[in-house]
């Protein structure tokens, strides 16, 4: 096939994929909203275990708490505890884009960072940002109301994280807590520290893993095309009345089962999709791929996804771009301002790899120069370690988690 026709076919395939995803998102909106109002912790068995079901299946205790934000969202916060141990210093974990708290619990008790820290006596809290499968509630708004979805990762950092930090401090009596954020979970930490600098004193140390901050450096051609198509669609999210994207449902989980079960004849397709999104890696255990794909799709707002795309194309971490006229009203300038990262006075460590499609050494260097209290930059030594490997890599414990544990344990006594 000639190059032009191949390119056209790739664009068409990417556009079709986006259309199907958006259609599935709208298809499941109403049914999910009703179910979640009745049962705050959804049960997707036999396809998938919930956060507390996972924790309890591995022999640890789990409590689901509910946190109210200043603007009325009700967020899930799961407390993980190893029986027979006391409660040590609290650690808040925040997941990445389109994911949820169960993202921290994929591999196993002796391998997942949250479970490892709980077994070491730390008081582990797994947070769920507004809009994902565990946090689709509000004191006044329904998920069927478009206004419910009028948020981006700015609101995650400005409202959600501070609400969780204050709740944990009040519950435990600790004046400050540890924070561990993966991908967009690292971004939301930076947003909080920059937009609400008084919260820096409430953070004993912030550990940000592969933070999404600037333009991704190593996207494949397929991903470039997919992101361009997605950006053109997301720019019109209000007009198209697409407010929620990639929600979790029995329908989508059943589709994942069909394509990504270890013995499925479609497994090569599933693996190819994974490799295109996250990059080739020797760290993936294919027996976990179904769980990785299923937990990755936990839902968020179209506005959050579009804000991430804005960061990509502007190559800067800045406030949401409403376009010039509305920006003038909201910010006083035609362009949205950048977050002032020099206001982040909490101690921060950055963990990254050299094979990450979304974060590279240059991005980390640029970020580190703007953080006044940098603990250090920690690069993964493996030549094959991609963005998702921080969560599910076979050697993540020795390559990443040991450094994180050393930072937290050393800071625990200061």
pLDDT of residue 204: 98
Of the chain, the end-to-end C-alpha distance in Å amounts to 64
Q: Are 53 and 80 within 8 A, CB to CB?
A: no
What are the pLDDT tens digits along the chain (414 aa)? Answer: 554 444 444 444 444 444 444 444 443 333 333 333 334 689 999 999 999 999 999 999 999 999 999 999 999 999 999 999 999 999 999 999 999 999 999 999 999 999 999 999 999 999 999 999 999 999 999 999 999 999 999 999 999 999 999 999 999 999 999 999 999 999 999 999 999 999 999 999 999 999 999 887 666 677 777 777 888 888 888 888 889 999 999 999 999 999 999 889 999 999 988 988 888 889 999 999 999 999 999 999 999 999 999 999 899 999 999 999 999 999 999 999 999 999 999 999 999 999 898 998 999 999 999 999 999 999 998 988 999 999 999 999 999 999 999 999 998 655
Domains observed in the chain: 3-411 (3.40.50.1820)
Torsion of CA 96, 163, 401, 98, to 10 degrees: -10
pLDDT in tens, 268-292: 999 988 988 888 889 999 999 999 9
């Amino acid at each position: 096939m000639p190059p032009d026709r191949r390119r056209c076919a790739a664009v068409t395939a990417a556009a079709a994929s986006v259309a199907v995803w958006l259609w599935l998102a709208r298809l499941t909106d109403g049914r999910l909203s009703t179910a979640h109002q009745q049962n705050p912790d959804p049960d997707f068995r036999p396809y998938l275990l919930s956060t507390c079901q996972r924790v309890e299946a591995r022999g640890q205790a789990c409590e689901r708490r509910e946190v109210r934000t200043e603007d009325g969202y009700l967020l899930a916060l799961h407390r993980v505890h190893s029986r027979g141990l006391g409660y040590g210093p609290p650690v808040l974990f925040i997941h990445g884009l389109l994911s949820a708290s169960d993202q921290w619990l994929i591999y196993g008790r002796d391998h997942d960072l949250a479970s490892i820290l709980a077994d070491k006596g730390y008081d582990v809290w797994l947070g769920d940002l507004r809009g994902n499968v565990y946090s689709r509630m509000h004191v006044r708004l329904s998920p069927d109301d478009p206004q419910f979805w009028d948020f981006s990762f700015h609101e995650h950092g400005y409202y959600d994280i501070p609400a969780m930090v204050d709740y944990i401090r009040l519950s435990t009596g600790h004046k400050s807590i540890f924070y561990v954020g993966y991908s967009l979970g690292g971004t939301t930490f930076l947003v909080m520290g920059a937009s609400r600098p008084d919260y820096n004193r409430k953070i004993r140390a912030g550990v940000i893993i592969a933070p999404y901050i600037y333009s991704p450096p190593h996207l494949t051609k397929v991903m470039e095309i997919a992101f361009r198509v997605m950006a053109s669609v997301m720019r019109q999210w209000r007009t198209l009345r697409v407010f929620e994207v990639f929600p979790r449902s029995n329908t989508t989980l059943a589709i994942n089962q069909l394509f990504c079960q270890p013995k499925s004849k479609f497994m090569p397709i599933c693996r190819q999709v994974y490799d295109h999104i996250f990059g080739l890696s020797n760290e993936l255990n294919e027996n976990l791929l179904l769980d990785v794909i299923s937990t990755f799709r936990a839902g968020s707002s179209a506005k959050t996804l579009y804000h991430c795309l804005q960061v990509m194309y502007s190559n800067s971490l800045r406030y949401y771009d409403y376009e010039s006229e509305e920006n003038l009203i909201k910010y006083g300038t035609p362009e949205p301002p950048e977050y002032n990262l020099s206001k982040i006075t909490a101690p921060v460590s950055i963990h990254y790899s050299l094979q990450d499609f979304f974060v590279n050494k240059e991005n980390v260097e640029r970020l580190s120069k703007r953080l006044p209290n940098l603990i250090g930059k920690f690069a993964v030594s493996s030549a094959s370690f991609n963005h998702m490997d921080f969560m599910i890599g076979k050697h993540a414990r020795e390559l990443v988690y040991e450094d994180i544990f050393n930072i937290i344990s050393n800071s625990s006594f200061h």
